[in-house]
Structure formats: C-alpha cells, structure tokens
Amino acid sequence: MNQPLAPRLALALAAAALLATACGKAPQVDPEKTAMAILPVGQVSIKKVKVEPGKRTGEAIVTSVCGACHGTGALNAPKTGDKAAWASRIALGFEALVNSAIHGKNQMPARGGAADLTDAEVARAVAYLANQAGANFEAPAP
C-alpha cells in the first residue's frame, strides 16, 4: 500500500469523526498529533560548500562545469576520454588548448561559461580533460 499520506490521514480523521459522532460526542482532534502525522517521512538538508576561486581542481571543474558538454558530446564538444576526438586538439599543445578554453572556441563560451574560473583553474581543467584522452599535460597546482 503505497498511497500518499494526505488521503490516508483524511480517511483516518473521517473515521474518527464518524465514530465520535456515533457515540454522541464531537470529535476531539489534537493539533500536535495531527501536525506530527503529516510531517514528511524524511528531510534532506543540502549544504553547498563553496571552494575559494583559484583552489579548485581540474577534476572538480570538469565535473561541475565542463561535464555538461564534454560528458555527453553536446554542441559537438569532444567527449571526455575520446582519444580520436582529442588527438588533433592535443597535437595543438597545452598552451593553445588553454587559450581556447579561456577565450572560448566555436560553441564553447569563454571559461566554459563559468566566469569565476581563474586562468590556472581553466588550465587544470584542460589538463584533466586532455589527459583523460591520452595527453600528458601538467597543470598548475591548486
């Protein structure tokens, strides 16, 4: 029986009222018990941790910013780990790839659309992405 709580609660309250009326008494509803009965089964609390700009890793940036396109190939972005798609790009060299990522290229906006990325963070993300496809680029440390 996987029914929402509200219809079940309404049915229970109606049954209680019917029984109380049948006995000649007005229904007594405890507001605190009613409030407890309709609370959600669980509650989720999300705490967003903001990492100081300049301190983010390449993997974290790719996951949070670049993965939307590079993870799926959206807008003709080379997919993460696709050696064939990345080969010609890797051949351009690390600095050229970083420059393209900072300033934007084709349908990719500057800094992948994340204006708060520092140049060093963009370089880390580029190194991470290219290295997944076989490059051996060294990115600046966080």
List, in order of start, the domains of the chain with CATH numbers: 5-37 (no CATH), 58-132 (1.10.760.10)
Which residues neighbour 55 within 8 Å (Cβ) at sequence distance 6 or greater? Answer: 142
Q: What is the token pair recorded at 124?
A: 């880390």
pLDDT of residue 52: 80
pLDDT value for 34: 80
pTM above 0.75, yes or no: no
What pLDDT, on the 0 to 100 scale, is given for residue 33?
82
Residues of the chain with pLDDT under 70: 1-6, 18-27
CA distance 58 to 133: 14
Measured distance CA(102)–CA(137) in Å, rounded: 17
pLDDT tens-digit map of 26-48: 667 888 888 777 877 777 777 77
Q: Give residue 90's identity as a one-letter amino acid code.
A: I
Please give the pLDDT value at position 27.
Answer: 64
Extract the tokens encoding 64. 């949070």
pLDDT value at position 8? 72
- pLDDT score of 18: 67
Rounded CA separation 78/72 (Å): 9
pLDDT of the residue at 24: 62
| pLDDT score of 21 | 61
